[in-house]
């Protein structure tokens, strides 16, 4: 049995003396401690010592007391302080050096942002950067402060995430893939042995720690030098628990598994370079950059958590115009892996519940290209920097993708193809040639599939819905790659035999399905168009994920439902975050703009975002790029060399091979893939070789051990937790934050087709929080306008008035189709009368894979008649049928009574005109007065006279109420006598 290792050092306290930094780490209950010692007497070197010993609370208290006493001077020993508490933290980001000494960076504030089963994902809220050498040995350099400011331009409190128990650098599918075979027993002789340094002081120091000195007794040395020495910190008799509790062969053991992280997504890798091999693994925390968002799709009280994780690659990272294409090592600009997780949160543990995920990616076109930013123009010209006839950079890039995700790779290229002046099409043509070259050497079943879709051109047409076209592409892509599904074996076999899963590829197993392959989406910037396309793919994937979880009855999600609005908000927040990091502004063209339902007020917002992006690209991107190069270790300052800001270009920093004049060891021109990668296709070789890249921690206490006890990590039974502060209570919920007030159906999949409503823009500061600050604005029902107008005037005027009211006030999208023209579309120049095939490239047949009745989302005109006037069956749930004979007679009788009976037309003998003679109503059609009042109008009413009989009845009724029943009358006696005679005689 294997469980992920939980790093229990989640509370850190940094203590300071003149010669040392002591970082004391403990678990949540403060029962286990470790000590990290950092030397402050070295001006430029980093000296870190970790004895890898686990201490108890009493031992750590004695150690800190001895250090405090040992660092006091003899004169100030009575009231002085030798050990000072400096800062409390939750983790170590790493260590960095510029031109002076080293700095240590600590996480001082954190915030929960997501829950994946029992695993908690945190976001950094604040950090502290401390200079390690003390002032007596500090070496001052005039450029040090500038490097510090440049380093701090990378805001660690913005979009950096970590977890103590979950590997954020890998996908959920990788983390849940078993790494050990059943019955695995590790070689115990290969387990690490305890550290043996300074054994001559061990017994003496431990004896003094466990036997406190009597009051007034002095230290063994005159000045306490031995206690101040970092190597003389006492050790406990027991060794590390992972060594002491080594299981014996044959025992039932739980193995703690610690994954080797994917260095591509570890953003503090350079900051941990000098300490990873020195300290215990519990001190190491890997931080990712990107986006993490989560919402609760509440389905009648059942929590379905929707999580979106965006991992940004640290390879060739930078800003928009300064990092384009790929470098010589296969890293592409703005590469982001987006994972969409949907799981049933009513079951805490992932291995016992139902979990699904789908992964896709975006990244710049893997060619050597750039844009000339010397001229201040909005769209600088695109240039191919150098020819790559053997696709060296693209081959390295796609080899990495195959290694991580498997096959097939589906390239969705959204770059323009038809332009009056060639701009983006330069890249499309070269990209197609590159893919064709690479496909020659891949097995036919695993070739790279190319789909070219001129999204901007299609969006310019008023009679075409971009999201409908993208939905067809998304359905094809999902069926080719599949998605990850894990559930109990009995349920998995039933789900996989469903009719809807027949066309879905992927690797099937006893517990569900594994995704094989990935969708790689790109435009020029990989921002606006790419985000909308990824949302379309995510929408299709979420429909199948919810269908597999048995939440919906068909794998299809309609627009304008709460569930899809939550997904749209997550993707827009994801796109805004990535656009700010890469482009300097939020998204300019949003999902609502491509759906053509964005309000007219979005004009000003789009203009402001465009100006913000232009300003950032022109003035602040260079400083941001230099900060990335310094933070990621692409450039390391050295005394006597050029400073980072003095370099004319950073091309050679990102392309190290360009600096060498010797012939490089080039890979084969035909075998651009690695053998292990090709042999494992369509599966990922990274997942297949997982067992060789993990660290094992055998635990004899089983799942009760704190290092593998996910229950203890999630529920924290020894901590006082307020429900109001609990993350599950404050998480974005479909009922709390999205469902309109007064809605009759609380289902997040309910399509409110009869309401003209839209979500109002959020105020500043709340736009990306995932919450709706105010209730969606609801207008009068569209059908009310329709019936009112048609009853008074012509059909055409009713249609026109209804259309104008809905368009001006709400921009409704009743059926999920476009209802207004896009105000933010930017398409290519030229005619818009081409067919659908002219906007699609590649040899992929999207229609041949359509086997579901829900795939027939056809493109409609601007506004169809059915959209304006839905059928009575759809609105009132009833149909119009022919009248029967009885109803016809009643209706005829009603008409005759209302209009009176008319005799046939006759002509008077002495008159030339025709007259109509009125007659009395037919016999049998008695007409009664509507009211019994003599005077009955809006001005007054005259009460009618009351008959004597009515007065007697009312008087008798009142008397019975006051005095009770009276004697029966003669008529009552006669009636009773008749009743008795008929019953008994």
pLDDT digits 0-9 by tens, 725-753: 788 888 888 888 888 777 777 888 887 64
> Quick one: tokens of 888?
């016809």
Predicted pLDDT at 142: 92
Predicted pLDDT at 868: 57
CA 391 vs. chain centroid, Å, equals: 34
pLDDT tens digit sequence for 473-531: 999 999 999 999 999 999 999 999 999 998 899 999 999 999 999 999 999 999 999 99
Q: What is the pTM of this model?
A: 0.75
pLDDT tens digit sequence for 305-351: 999 999 999 999 999 889 999 999 999 999 999 999 999 999 999 99
Q: Is there a contact between 454 and 418 (Cβ–Cβ < 8 Å)? A: yes
Predicted pLDDT at 601: 60
Closest CA to 137 of 43, 27, 244: 43
Radius of gyration for the chain, computed over Cα atoms and rounded to the nearest angstrom? 38
d(CA 683, CA 407): 7
Predicted pLDDT at 705: 84
Element of type H or E holding 230: none
Q: Is there a contact between 29 and 39 (Cβ–Cβ < 8 Å)? A: no
Predicted pLDDT at 576: 92
Give the chain's largest Cα–Cα span.
149
Q: Is there a contact between 346 and 303 (Cβ–Cβ < 8 Å)? A: yes
Q: First-to-last CA distance in the chain?
A: 91
Q: Is there a contact between 540 and 471 (Cβ–Cβ < 8 Å)? A: yes
d(CA 637, CA 629): 11
d(CA 381, CA 365): 16
Low-confidence ranges of the chain (pLDDT < 50): 187-251, 662, 664, 753-835, 849-851, 853, 856-864, 911-918
> Quick one: tokens of 196?
């043996």
**Angle CA 470–474–478, to nearest 5:** 180
Q: Is 824 helix (H, G, I), strand (E, B) or coil?
A: coil
């Amino acid at each position: 049995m294997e469980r992920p290792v939980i790093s229990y050092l989640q509370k850190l306290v940094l203590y300071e003396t003149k010669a040392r930094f002591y970082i004391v780490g403990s678990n949540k209950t403060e029962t286990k401690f470790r000590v990290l010692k950092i030397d402050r007497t070295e001006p430029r070197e980093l000296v870190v010592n970790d004895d890898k010993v686990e201490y108890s609370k009493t031992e750590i208290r004695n150690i800190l007391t001895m250090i405090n006493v040992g660092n006091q001077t003899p004169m100030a020993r009575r009231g002085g302080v030798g050990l000072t508490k400096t800062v409390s933290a939750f983790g170590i980001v790493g260590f960095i050096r510029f031109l002076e000494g080293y700095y240590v960076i600590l996480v001082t504030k954190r915030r929960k942002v997501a829950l994946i089963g029992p695993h908690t994902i945190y976001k950094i809220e604040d950090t502290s950067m401390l200079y390690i050498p003390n002032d007596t040995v500090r070496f001052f350099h005039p450029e040090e402060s500038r490097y510090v400011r440049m380093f701090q331009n990378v805001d660690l409190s913005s979009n950096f995430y970590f977890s103590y128990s979950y590997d954020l650098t890998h996908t959920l599918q990788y983390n849940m893939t078993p790494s050990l075979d059943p019955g695995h027993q590790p070689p115990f002789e290969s387990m690490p042995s305890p550290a043996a340094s300074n054994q001559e002081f061990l017994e003496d120091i431990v004896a003094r720690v466990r036997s406190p000195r009597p009051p007034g007794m002095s230290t063994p040395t005159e000045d306490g030098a031995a206690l101040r020495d970092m190597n003389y910190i006492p050790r406990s008799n027991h060794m590390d628990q992972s060594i002491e509790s080594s299981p014996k062969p044959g025992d039932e053991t739980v193995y703690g598994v610690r994954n080797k992280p994917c260095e591509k997504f570890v953003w503090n890798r350079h900051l941990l370079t000098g300490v990873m091999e020195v300290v215990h693994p519990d001190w190491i925390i890997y931080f990712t950059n990107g986006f993490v968002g989560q919402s609760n799709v509440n389905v009648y009280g059942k929590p379905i958590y929707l999580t979106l994780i965006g991992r940004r690659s640290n390879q060739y990272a930078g800003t928009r115009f300064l990092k384009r294409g790929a470098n010589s090592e296969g890293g592409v600009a703005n590469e982001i892996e987006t994972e969409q997780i949907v799981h049933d949160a009513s079951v805490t543990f992932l291995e016992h519940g139902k979990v699904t995920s789908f992964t896709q990616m975006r990244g710049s076109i893997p060619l050597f290209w750039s844009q000339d930013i010397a001229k201040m123009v909005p769209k600088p010209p695109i240039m191919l920097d150098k020819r790559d006839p053997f696709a060296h950079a693209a081959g390295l890039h796609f080899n990495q993708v195959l290694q991580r995700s498997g096959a097939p790779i589906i390239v969705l290229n959204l770059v323009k193809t038809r332009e009056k002046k060639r701009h983006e099409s330069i890249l499309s043509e070269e990209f197609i040639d590159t893919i064709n070259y690479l496909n020659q050497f891949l097995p036919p079943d695993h070739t790279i599939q190319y789909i070219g879709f001129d999204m901007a051109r299609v969006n310019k047409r008023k009679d075409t819905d971009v999201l409908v076209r993208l939905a067809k592409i998304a359905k094809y892509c999902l069926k080719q790659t599949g998605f990850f599904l894990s559930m109990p074996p009995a349920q998995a076999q039933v789900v996989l035999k469903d009719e809807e899963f027949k066309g879905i590829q992927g690797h099937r197993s006893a517990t569900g399905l594994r995704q094989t392959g990935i969708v790689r989406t790109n435009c020029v910037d990989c921002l606006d168009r790419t985000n909308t396309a990824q949302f379309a793919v995510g929408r299709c994937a979420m429909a199948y994920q919810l269908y597999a979880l048995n939440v919906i009855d068909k794998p299809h999600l309609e627009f304008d439902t709460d569930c899809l609005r939550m997904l749209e908000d997550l993707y827009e927040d994801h796109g805004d975050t990535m656009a700010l990091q890469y482009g300097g502004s939020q998204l300019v063209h949003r999902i609502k703009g491509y759906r053509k339902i964005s309000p007219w007020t979005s004009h000003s917002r789009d203009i402001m975002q465009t100006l913000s992006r232009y300003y950032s690209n022109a003035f602040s991107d260079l400083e941001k790029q230099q900060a990335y190069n310094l933070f990621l270790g692409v450039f390391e300052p050295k005394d006597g060399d050029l400073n980072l800001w003095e370099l004319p270009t950073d091309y050679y920093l990102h392309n190290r091979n360009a600096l060498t004049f010797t012939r490089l060891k080039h890979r084969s021109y035909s075998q651009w893939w690695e053998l292990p990668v090709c042999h494992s296709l369509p599966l990922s070789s990274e997942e297949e070789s997982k067992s060789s890249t993990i660290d094992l921690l055998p635990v004899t206490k089983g799942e009760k051990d704190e290092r593998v006890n996910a229950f203890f990590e999630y529920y924290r039974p020894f901590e006082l937790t307020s429900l109001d502060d609990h993350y599950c209570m404050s998480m974005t919920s479909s009922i709390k934050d999205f469902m309109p007030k007064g809605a009759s159906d609380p289902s997040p999949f309910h399509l409110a087709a009869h309401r003209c409503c839209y979500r109002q823009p959020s105020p500043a500061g709340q736009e990306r929080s995932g919450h709706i600050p105010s209730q969606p604005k609801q207008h009068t029902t569209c059908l009310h306008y329709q019936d009112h107008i048609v009853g008074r005037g012509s059909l055409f005027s009713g249609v026109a008035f209804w259309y104008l009211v809905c368009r001006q006030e709400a921009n409704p999208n009743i059926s999920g189709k476009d209802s207004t023209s896009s105000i933010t579309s930017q398409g290519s120049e030229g005619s818009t009368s081409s067919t659908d095939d002219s906007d699609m490239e590649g040899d992929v047949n999207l229609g041949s894979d359509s086997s579901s009745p829900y795939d027939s989302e056809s493109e409609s005109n601007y506004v169809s008649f059915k959209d304006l006037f839905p059928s009575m069956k759809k609105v009132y749930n009833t149909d119009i049928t022919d009248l029967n004979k009885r109803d016809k007679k009643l209706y005829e009788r009603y008409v005759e009574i209302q209009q009176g009976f008319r005799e046939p037309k006759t002509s008077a003998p002495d008159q030339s005109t025709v007259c109509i003679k009125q007659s009395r109503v037919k016999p049998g059609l008695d007409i009664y007065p509507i009211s019994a009042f003599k005077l009955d109008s809006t001005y007054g009413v005259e009460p009618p006279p009351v008959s004597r009989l009515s007065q007697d009845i009312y008087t008798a009724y009142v008397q019975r109420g006051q005095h009770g029943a009276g004697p029966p009358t003669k008529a009552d006696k006669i009636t009773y006598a008749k009743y008795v005679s008929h019953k008994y005689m």
